[in-house]
Amino acid sequence: MQKELLSRRAFFNSLKDATGKSVILLSMPALLHACRESRQARLAGEDFQTITEEEAIEFDAITARIIPTTETAGAREAGVVFFMDAVLGDSREEQHAILKDGLRELQSAAVQEFDVAYFHLLDARQQDQLIESISDTSFFFTLRYLTIAGMFSLPEYGGNRDFVGYDVIGYQNRGAWTQPYSFYDADFTERGE
């Protein structure tokens, strides 16, 4: 995987003889192409309405560390990034701006710390290290909020696909329940209290 990495520093270094902003802008598709080549660029080509493809790939990677895939589904399987795309487009420009700014800073930190341009190209240990370093920022609070919201909202908002979020915590979205609800009320009834 490391062989496929294209660090932002390396990328800009490759442009050191170039002058002018347009060159960099024209080069972005090439950069994204490199991302698509990576194993983690599985979101390339998805039709996002609010966030950019780059944001989608990066947010997907961050949210997958906030609620990782373990024996049970994580943010990635729940489709959290699709939830984010949907709700950020619903009068949440302020939150989107926080995420955009925060992502730029996070990517800068990735370059500084690991000489890698994109968060999603780091390994899990490096990703967790970076998240830890930003865990008291509004960027992280916003991202954590949307990750959890995407994990536990109704699937109609784009996340919690097949209710995998509910499965993680043992919540069943049933319309009706009857006693016993739990160990304690069953015990209460059994003892005739």
Partner 1 sequence: MAQASNPAVSFDTREEVDFVVVGSGAAGGIMAKELAAAGHSVVVLEQGPHLQAVDFKHDEWGYQHNNDLVWSTRHGNRQTFRRNENEEATLQESVLGYAHNVGGSSVHFSGNFWRFRPIDFMEASVRGTIAGTNFADWPISYEDLEPYYTKVDWEIGVSGLQGPWDPPRSRDYPCPPMPIKGSDVLLERAAKQMGLTSYPAPVAILSQPHNGRPACIHCGFCNGYGCEVNAKSSSMVTMIPLALATGTCELRTMATVSQINTGESGRVTEVVYFDENGTEQAQRTRAAVLCANGAETPRLLLMSANSMFPDGLANASGFVGQNLMFNGYSSVVGLFDEPVNAWKSVPTTRVVHDFYELDESLGFYGGGGIDGRHPTAGTPLGFALSAPDMFGSPSWGAEFKENLAFQFSHCAAFDGHSTSLPLATNNVTLDPNYQDDFGRPAIRCTYSDHPDDLATMEWFLNKTVELMEVAGANSINGFYPETGQTGNVHLLGTCRMGDDPMTSVINSDHRAHDVPNLFMCDGSSLVTGGRGQPTMTIMALAFRAADRINQLAQRNEI
Stretch that binds partner 1, among 7-15, 21-29, 102-110, 180-188 (CB under 8 A): 180-188
By CB under 8 A, residue 170 contacts partner 1: yes
State which residue, 25 or 169, has the beta carbon closest to partner 1.
Answer: 169
Tell me how far, at minimum, the Cβ of 135 lies from partner 1, in Å.
7
By CB under 8 A, residue 138 contacts partner 1: no
Tell me which of 2, 17, 49, 184 binds partner 1, using CB under 8 A: 184
59: Cα within 13 Å, side-chain hemisphere: 32
Q: Can you give the chain as a three-state secondary structure string?
A: CHHHCCCHHHHHHHCCCCCCHHHHHHHHHHHHHHHHHCCCCCCCCCCCCCCCHHHHHHHHHHHHHHCCCCCCCCHHHHCHHHHHHHHHCCCCHHHHHHHHHHHHHHHHHHHHHHCCCCHHHCCHHHHHHHHHHCCCCHHHHHHHHHHHHHHHCCHHHCCCHHHHHHHHHCCCCCCCCCCCCCHHHHHHHHCCC
Tell me which of 91, 125, 190, 192 binds partner 1, using CB under 8 A: 91
By CB under 8 A, residue 192 contacts partner 1: no
State which residue, 11 or 140, has the beta carbon closest to partner 1.
Answer: 140
As a whole number of angstroms, the distance between CA 44 and CA 170 comes to: 32
By CB under 8 A, residue 190 contacts partner 1: no
State which residue, 25 or 176, has the beta carbon closest to partner 1.
Answer: 176
Stretch that binds partner 1, among 6-14, 45-53, 109-117, 166-174 (CB under 8 A): 166-174
Site residues (CB under 8 A) for partner 1? 65-68, 70, 72, 74, 87, 90-91, 128, 131, 135, 144-145, 148-149, 151-154, 157, 165-166, 168-171, 173-179, 181-185, 187-188, 193
